Amino acid sequence: MSLSFMLLMMVIFSVMSAGLFYASRVPAVQEEINVMVHGRAGGDSEDVGRLAHITFIMFTFTSPLILASVLSTGMAVLRWLQRRV
């Protein structure tokens, strides 16, 4: 296993964990986890956490594009540095 593959996997897993972190802050997801773990819903069913929900959705839609552009930029920089040496 090469070092570059391990770094790529670290980046992928860190993006996935960031997505799970934002998902855990969404009240609808918290309620579903509460039902799954405890078997009952939480006390309040207010529509709070709209910002967390929007952030999670935007993170989900944009994270593959951001990850691809960061990796592409990194590879371009590495190629440029190798060409100079």
Confidence of residue 42 (pLDDT cuts 50, 70, 90): low
pLDDT of residue 51: 73
- Assess whether pLDDT exceeds 60 at residue 6: yes
Delimit the domains of the chain by residue range.
Answer: 3-84
pLDDT of residue 79: 92
Residue type, 9: M
Give 8's contacts (C-beta < 8 A, 6+ positions apart).
71
Confidence of residue 77 (pLDDT cuts 50, 70, 90): very high
33 is written with which tokens?
């986890």
What value does the mean pLDDT of the chain take?
Answer: 80
pLDDT of residue 81: 92
